[in-house]
Structure formats: C-alpha cells, structure tokens
Amino acid sequence: MKKMGVLLVSVVMCSMMLDAKDYVVDQVKKTFIPHEVTLHVGDYIVFKNSDPFAHNAYTDDEANEFDIGMQATGEDIRVKMKAPGSFDVECAIHPNMLLEVTVK
Amino acid sequence: MKKIVLACLLMGVSVLAQDTSKWICPSEVPQPEDNKLTKERIELGKLLYFDVRLSRDDTISCATCHSPSRGWSDEVPTSKAVGFQGRVGPRNSPTILNSAFQKKQFWDGRAKSLEAQALGPIEADVEMNMPLDMLIPKLNKIQGYKELFAKAYPESKGVITKEYLAKAIASFERTVISPEAPFDKYIKGDKNAISAEAKKGFELFQGKAHCTDCHDGWNFTDGSFHNIGLNDGELTGKELGRYNVKARPAWYGVFKTPTLRDVTKSYPYFHDGSVKTLKEATVLCSEGGRYENNVKNKSEYMKKRDLSEDEVDAVVAFMHTLTGPDVKVDIPTSFPQ
C-alpha cells in the first residue's frame, strides 16, 4: 500500500513536470521579444540573448522575484514561475526594455 | 553604361530610403493618465519651479541648479546648495531637458517618474533642505497658491498636498523640451544644415566610436545604466550609483546615460562633473574610461576605439550640432502671495 502511494505521488509529480512548458523570450536590439507572455505556475521563461552585448532580466514582484544577473550573448537562462500574478520584467542595464508577464 | 547609371541611381535611392525615424523628435510628450498637461498645471508648476520659498531659507529654487540659462543644469562640478550653509552635493546637476522621455529619473534612476522625482531635491539636505512637513503648511498659508492649485487640480479644492505639489512641478518639467538643432534640420533633409566634419562625426558616432551603444535615438540616450570607469577599486558612498537603490550586481557603480541634446550647454560632464570639456569627455570614452583595469562591473561598451585626433574632433563637431538656439524662457518675476 505504501509502495502504491509513493508510486502515485511520483506519477503525479512526473506528470506535473511533463506539463511544465518553456516560453522563450529573446532579447534583440534592446527589446524583449515577445514583449508580453502568459504562462502557468511551474512553467519556465527561457531568456535568450541575441544581442552582441550583455543583458539582464529581473522583477521585484514579491511572489516571483528573480534576477538572472549579467547574461552574455548566446546564453540561455531558465526561470521558473512560482505564483500566479501579473508583473513587469526589466533589464537592469537597459530599463527601456519591458516584458509584461502574466502567470495563471 | 546604362547599367552603371541605374546602379548609381539605385544606390542614391537606397541612401535616401535609409530609415531615419529613430533620430526624429517625437511630436508628443508622454503624460501620465492622472496628470495630463493643462495650461493651468504648467503655469503653476513654473511658478513653483522658480520660487525660492520652496527652500528652507528662501534662497534656492529648482532653477538654481537647473537653470534655463545654463542648459537646464549648472556650471559647477557638483550641485551646489549655495543658499544653505554652502553645502555641496555629491553629483553634477543633470539637465532636466527631455526628462519627460526618461523612464528613470536622477543619475541613479531611483525615481520612476517626474512626479516621484520632483520632491527629492526639495527635501535633500544638500539642496533645498526643506522637509515637506514644513513646506506643505507654508504653501497652504499662501492664498495665491491655494487658488492656483484649485484651478489646476479642482479635486484638490485648494488644499495643497505633496502629491499635488509633485504633479504641478512635474507638469512644468514635462514642457522642457530641446529646441530644433542643426542636426534635426539635417536629418529631415537639409543637407547643408551641418558641416562636412560634423557629417563625418555622425558616421563615426554610429560606427567606429560606438557612441550609439548608449547614446542612441533622437534623445541621444537609450536610458541605460553603466559603470564607465571613472573610478577604480572598491567604490563607496554615492559613487556606488544605482547599487545604492538596490544591491544588484549589475548596478554596481552604474549611472544613467545622459542625453546629449544641448550638450555644449550642460558642462561639466559625467555624474561627478569631473570633466570640463566635450573633447575631454569624448577622449575619455574613446579610451575606454579613465581607468582601464581594476574597475568592478565596468561596462563592456567601454573599450579603446583608437580614434585619431581628427576623428575625435569630428565627433565633437557632430555633438555641437545637437545644440539648438537659446530659447527665451519667461522667468516669473512675481509669485503668488
């Protein structure tokens, strides 16, 4: 019975992990592309940097706070969405770059 | 022969067809939904901007350090609160020109709007040194101001609060826009508006000199934050820049890229006002900063560009074309009583 329980929990966790999706947001010509993204708790934003210089992405949203640090050209950084809500993401170097995120 | 002529014609068309839109000044000023520009708000903000009674000892106004006759800045290396015990600020007065278009205000970007910025210098002890809990009651005793606030912001019913004060000053600041400069005429098609040397400088500015890595677009800033290597070693105090707002690694020692509009009027240069001339500033940037090594979080844009003296002169000549004619500002001579 105990083994069945562990198996059930494992199956549920695996299915949750399989359901998690990646949403690619590229940084091109000092612009987030796309500039808005809607995803679910557990999904990932994959930040790419196609510009020939460093970028960054951060949010001060309490529930989903993150700061990916300095991101070099060609580097991919995945960030997991932790809680539902809507918030803005900026580049710490180029604050005119704005990404609007909605987590459901 | 026909083919050559056609090729030349096509090349000409292609040059003419180059997208110059990013260099064209926008026709509208951004305004927040809750503080749209009106004549009453702008005029009230202008009175407040020039009124020395907003300082603790009635000697300093916003215009003392951001004067229209000095490129909406001043000409001393740091913001000098000349009226209050001679205290000297830690940073050079930035111009307020085109600040309506900036997403972050102050050298360290700590204010997200002009409304959020407007009250800071009033309270700063090295500037106007006027606590708002002293200023607001003082303003509410001036009947003339109460009437103007009631007209500009009817919902205030003439009761002056710090929020309405900030909105009024921000409204005036939003109208401080750079005048049409020779470069604007050039980019709109008047090929004789700037010299051949300046045209060469514009090419260098966008190319070999890499100025547009940061000073990009019609306002000649992309609003970005960088550590340009004015100091080496560990930084302390105000030199930490945006890192003082929040200790993000990317913000260590960084300051906002200033506009180059009317740049010949806003000397001295850089956040610490440590450079007197535009040529010295250009040389410093083209050499990759004052310090090449031992600069923590130095911007990757700050690299040696190997510009010859003639090329530096050309870039400077180009930047001179970003200064427009002096705009006559009717400075108030009487204030509400």
Is B1 part of any domain? no
Nearest CB to B300; choose among A54, A58, A95: A54
If you measure CA to CA, which chain A residue comes closest to B216?
A: A30
pLDDT at B87: 80
Is B119 part of any domain? yes
The per-residue pLDDT for range A30-85, each reduced to its tens digit, is 999 999 999 999 999 999 999 999 999 999 999 999 999 999 999 999 999 999 99
The per-residue pLDDT for range B42-77, each reduced to its tens digit, is 999 999 999 999 999 999 999 999 999 888 988 777
- The upper half-sphere exposure of residue A94, i.e. CA atoms within 13 Å in the direction of its Cβ, equals 24
Is B49 part of any domain? yes
Catalytic residues of B: 127
Is B9 part of any domain? no
Residues B131 and B249 both lie in one domain: no
Confidence check: pLDDT of A6 > 60 = no
Is B8 part of any domain? no
Structural domain for B149, as ranges:
33-173
Residues B223 and B109 both lie in one domain: no
Nearest CB to A67; choose among B109, B226, B248: B248
Residue A54 near chain B (CB below 8 Å): yes
pLDDT cut 90: percent of chain B above it: 84
Residues B137 and B251 both lie in one domain: no
Residue of B267, B271, B260, B280 lying closest to B323 (CA atoms): B260
Q: Do A93 and B300 touch (CB under 8 A)?
A: no
* Of the candidate ranges B55-59, B150-154, B165-169, B215-219, the one whose mean pLDDT is the lowest: B55-59
Q: What confidence tier does B14 reach under pLDDT thresholds 50, 70, 90?
A: very low
Q: Do B224 and A53 touch (CB under 8 A)?
A: no
Number of domains present in the structure of chain B: 2
Residues B144 and B216 both lie in one domain: no
Is B2 part of any domain? no
The per-residue pLDDT for range B100-113, each reduced to its tens digit, is 999 999 999 999 99
Does the model's ipTM exceed the 0.90 cut? no
Residues B167 and B188 both lie in one domain: no
Question: For all residues of chain B together, what is the average pLDDT?
Answer: 92
Domain harbouring B211, CATH code:
1.10.760.10
Residues B49 and B114 both lie in one domain: yes
Residues B269 and B288 both lie in one domain: yes
* Residue spans of alpha helices (H) in chain A: 2-19
Residues B192 and B163 both lie in one domain: no
Q: B 74-103 residues with CB below 8 A of A? A: 103
Picking from B116, B146, B173, the residue at the C-terminal end of a domain is B173
Q: Do B249 and A70 touch (CB under 8 A)?
A: yes
Residues B97 and B150 both lie in one domain: yes
Residue A92 near chain B (CB below 8 Å): yes
- DSSP letters, B216-269, are -TTTT----EE--SSS-SS--GGGGBGGGTS--GGGTTBEEPPP-TTGGGS-SB
Confidence check: pLDDT of B83 > 80 = no
Picking from B153, B173, B193, the residue at the C-terminal end of a domain is B173
Is B52 part of any domain? yes
| Domains located in chain A, CATH noted | 21-103 (2.60.40.420)
Is B337 part of any domain? no
Helix, strand, or coil (residue B221): coil
